[in-house]
Amino acid sequence: MPRALWSGVLTFGLVNVPVGLFSATSEKSIRFNQLNKATGNRVRYRKVDDATGEEVPASEIISGYDTGDDEYVMVEREELASVAPGRSELMEISDFVDLADIDPIFYRQTYYLAPRGKGADRAYALLRRAMVDTGKAGVATMVMRDREHLVVLRPSGDALVVESLYFADEIRAAEDVIGELPGDDSFADRELKIAEQLIESLSVEWEPDRYHDTYRDRVQELIDSKREGRQVVTAKKAPRTNVIDLMAALEESIAARGGRGGAKSDKAGKAKKAEKSAESGPAAADGVPAEYAEMSKADLLKLAAQADIKGRSSMSKEELAEAIAAAPKPRKSKAS
């Protein structure tokens, strides 16, 4: 079991639950180091004095608050430590709220909360079940890494999840960032109706596995190609044009979706297609084999990886299905 990022006691009312906090997410982005193009050596950064250009050791560096006009208020580490919240092992739920009332813009980081020690399991499970039955989430504060954090606890399956939140004064109003925003009272009824119809035609049940970081796949494929000494060809993207006629764009989008009226009708259509495919064999519309037509793009990418199909990360769902169907099938070994 991984080491807890924070260990302490969760309290609600007079109930105390020993708990540990664990990171719930793991970023998968590909990281690069900076190199000297001429030598291939790593390029490293040094901390230097802005005026003298001399390197400054870490022991001689202090914090400075910029007041403007290149003037700083210098603060020693000991002075910062004197006003820090101090180490605390308490996560105290002060309020319970409806989770739907919290705008997702407040969410910062996600963690799992686990019971720790003898007797913690029952109290932990009781709190989770009570939150499920009431539809409530708990708001609490905690100290981690010398900072005070506002958090919300919510049930997720058999676990309790902790979401760290931004404080209200850390959220910028849209008007302050963007400026004046357009209103929603200038649309013709037909425009709004078709826009809603398009949304319905694109509506599906939330399945996170359907979505895949295709850019990361392309970067990895680029790295693998260069390691193997293969030539890398850069494809030019077609320039995107601005949409001038909003109504025409909406109607063309609906037409491209086959005039579907919504997710329900789409599901019914898929069911009919499946029945027809089962009766008539492996052929499907648009030349895509029926066995792949209903699969998600994520599943098709996995099959394409198994078949070692080159350029798969940049293919559309239809292109992936066609490429998999055309790829040679692995031979089954005969039993001796």
Q: What pLDDT does 331 receive?
A: 52
- Which pTM was predicted? 0.60
Q: How many domains does the chain have?
A: 1
Cβ-proximal residues to 307 (8 Å cutoff; 6+ apart), any chain: 323, 324, 327
101: CATH: 2.40.290.10
Q: What share of the chain is helix, strand, coil (3-state, %, to 5)?
A: 40, 20, 40
**Whether 136 contacts 98, CB under 8 Å:** yes
Position 20 in a domain: yes
| Residue 109 in domain | yes
Sequence-separated (6 or more) residues with CB below 8 Å from residue 297: 210, 212, 317, 320
Measured in degrees and rounded to the nearest 5, phi and psi for residue 49 equal: -70, 130
Structural domain including 124 reads 6-27+84-169
Any domain includes 52 = no
Residue 286 CB neighbour total at 10 angstroms: 8
Residue 299 lies in a domain: no
What are 14's two structure tokens? 């007079």
Q: Which residue in 209, 211, 237, 233 sits closest to 221, CA to CA?
A: 233
Query: Measuring CA to CA, how many Å separate 20 from each of 9, 118, 301?
Result: 8, 13, 37
**DSSP string covering 139-188:** EEEEEETTEEEEEEEEEETTEEEEEEE--GGGSPPHHHHH-S---S----
Give domain status of residue 224, yes or no. no
Query: Can you give the pLDDT of all 336 residues of the chain as single tens digits?
Result: 678 899 999 998 888 899 999 999 888 888 899 999 999 999 988 899 988 999 999 889 989 999 887 889 998 878 877 777 666 788 999 999 998 899 999 999 999 999 998 789 999 999 999 999 999 999 999 988 878 899 999 999 999 999 999 999 999 998 899 888 887 777 778 888 888 888 888 888 888 888 888 888 888 888 888 888 877 666 666 555 555 677 777 777 777 766 554 444 444 444 444 444 444 444 444 556 677 777 877 778 778 878 878 777 667 778 888 888 888 765 544 443
155 lies in some domain: yes
Residue at 98 is within a domain:
yes
Look at residue 201 and tell me if it is in a domain: no
